[in-house]
Chains A and B, each alone.
Chain A
């Protein structure tokens, strides 16, 4: 079955430190991948997406992600984390013929000042 896995449930980083959130997918074909962020009590905001082409994609708020087919991964990175980045991050893949997002279980990011 097609699936998205986020191995880390919680991550804590210090403000100013670099960040990498892991995402692995299980699909036969080239997946279309997304990262969303959810602040407490809020909906989901799109950070970035990968459909094809350059495997390093840039997003909003200084985030980037790299698609690695050999590792079935789409990890999210940020060189320097800000306290306002504390939130829950979801990796997702477009499946079901292109009309359904399948989400991972999310990674809760805590930023220490």
Chain B
């Protein structure tokens, strides 16, 4: 059984640029959630995708957007990067997008915005 994978592992961008992060969900999972973890903080929920539809969103601006594909992999896109976007971005997959589902996390993508 393959776990959650993310790419790239590290990324450096400059302010104003756009970035795309990718996540492959664990086998058998159809739900992907994205979290931002700033240095020294706990992860903050960005949004969740269930069967290619957004299924909940945290307190993040519209320049944070996402996609989920038919194979349940997902992308997180961030436009107009700001310095405060520097963080570890974590993807988690779970079974069905309903309540009580355990989320399993990938290793994350560390983004540095200069």
Contact = CB atoms under 8 A, between A and B. Distances in A.
Interface stretch (A13-21, A38-46, A71-79): A38-46
Interface residues of B, number: 31
B33 interface: yes
Interface string A81-104: 000000000101010111111111
Interface secondary structure of A, over-half rule: strand
A46 to B, nearest CB: 6
A43 B43 CA distance: 10
A74 to B, nearest CB: 15
Interface residues of A, number: 26
Interface string B42-64: 11110010100001101000000
Contacts of A27: none
A43 B106 contact: yes
Given A36-B105, A44-B43, A44-B105, A99 B90 contact: no
A100 B58 contact: yes
Given A99-B55, A99-B56, A94 B45 contact: no
Nearest to A42: B107
B41 A98 contact: no
Interface string B1-33: 000101000000000000000000000000101
Contacts of B106: 43
Interface string B69-102: 0000000000000000000001010000111111
A98 B98 contact: yes
Contacts of B107: 42-43
Nearest to B44: A103
Nearest to A44: B105
30 contacts: A32-B99, A42-B107, A43-B4, A43-B105, A43-B106, A44-B43, A44-B92, A49-B102, A51-B100, A90-B42, A94-B99, A94-B100, A96-B56, A97-B99, A98-B98, A98-B101, A99-B50, A99-B55, A99-B99, A99-B101, A100-B48, A100-B58, A101-B35, A101-B43, A102-B45, A103-B42, A103-B44, A104-B42, A105-B42, A106-B42
Query: What 3 A-B pairs are tightest by C-beta distance, nearest first?
Result: A98-B99, A103-B42, A44-B105
